[in-house]
Amino acid sequence: MKIQLRRRLLQPAVLVCVALALLQPGRALAQLCTASATTVAFGSVDVVSGADYPATGTYTITCNIGLLGLGSVNVSACANIAGANGTTPRSMSSGANSVAYNLYSDSAHSTVWGAFGTTPGIPNPPNPVNLTVSSLLLGGTASSSPITIYGNLKSSQNTTAIAGGYSASPTATLTYNYSYSALFLPGTPPSCVSGPSGNNGSSTFALNVSATVINNCSVTATPVNFGNSVGVLTSALTATGTIAATCTNSDSYTIALNKGTTAGASIGDRQMAGSGSAVVHYQLFAPTTVTSAGGSGCNYATVWGDTTSGALVSGTGTGAAQNYTVCGRVQAQTTPAPATYQDTILVTVTY
């Protein structure tokens, strides 16, 4: 009977020893927490629009005590995202090309999301996520709610970007400090914002960022005004206006001018309408010299038209406004009755 009694007492002692050995902080909790994230996808981005493009992603923290674990752990966990340096934005790449963006901890995009450290100008991660994990030998798991990562891509920082798909995978590390107790009364761990302290651990997780820059153009124009008191039309009148085209860098485009809104007009004979059926005949010409900056000069030789008649003006976008001179001329003609004569030309940019 004595031998049998000793054997019964030894079995729980062995189990307790094993359980306590498995709960040594340096061994059982070395990989206590992990994180997973969704892509911060900016979608289609028009860099000539002048707009900001916000986007969001989320990450979730999961902490666990493995099978045969016993006790509770309080965790202070921080997601550190490297690559931020003061006001210098992060960047995504497409081959040798890049676009700027940044990640923030707030929807107002005022606090850049960074990583802990002592380098001036590098922001820290946002407030820590606190979790408690408990286990009674069968393992225990605790997960955070999805935590939002706010992204913003500014057109103003990417005016020279070319069209294409861009992506980045900034280094993301989950760093955590923890406090363990086999009695289910763990203390408060040091905040993870300042980095490792006391019992700590870390794990990396995948964070992806993406954007697609699209080709686009915007166009504005100033009037061609031949004057308010021109008198009789015994000699030619000339005046100029300007078309400003802003197109995505490296985007080829053409500019067409239609015949106008006056009934009976054509590309070869544009007309300004006055009172009744009276008209003033006029013409619009392409600039003499076209360069990467736009077009300038007037020699009144090439009628600026559309795909049906006249000539188109072509250019390649730089991301900045390219100004083209519109050369207008009213030829000598029989002077119609005094009135205000005008026409409206539709400017079409094809890219």
Answer whether residue 338 shows pLDDT above 60: yes
CATH 2.60.40 fits 217-350, yes or no: yes
Kindly indicate the confidence band of residue 32, based on its pLDDT and cuts at 50, 70 and 90: confident
Rounded to 5°, angle at Cα 328 from 325 and 330: 170
Average pLDDT over residues 115-135: 82
Count CB neighbours of 342 within 10 A.
14
Burial zone of 145 (CB within 10 Å; 0-12 exposed, 13-18 middle, 19+ buried)? exposed
Return the pLDDT at 20: 33
Confidence (pTM): 0.83
Kindly indicate the confidence band of residue 121, based on its pLDDT and cuts at 50, 70 and 90: low
Count CB neighbours of 265 within 10 A.
19
Kindly indicate the confidence band of residue 187, based on its pLDDT and cuts at 50, 70 and 90: very high
Average pLDDT over residues 87-91: 87
Per-domain residue ranges for the chain? 32-213, 217-350
Kindly indicate the confidence band of residue 86, based on its pLDDT and cuts at 50, 70 and 90: low
Return the pLDDT at 13: 37
Q: Tell me the per-residue pLDDT of 293-322, one tens digit each, with 9 for 90 and over.
A: 999 999 999 999 999 999 999 999 999 999
Q: Tell me the per-residue pLDDT of 161-175, one tens digit each, with 9 for 90 and over.
A: 999 999 999 999 999
State how far the Cα of 168 lies from the Cα of 132, in Å rounded to an integer.
Answer: 33
Q: Tell me the per-residue pLDDT of 260-271, one tens digit each, with 9 for 90 and over.
A: 999 999 999 999
Residue-averaged pLDDT of the chain: 89
* Token pair of 130 as six digits: 């606190």
Kindly indicate the confidence band of residue 50, based on its pLDDT and cuts at 50, 70 and 90: very high
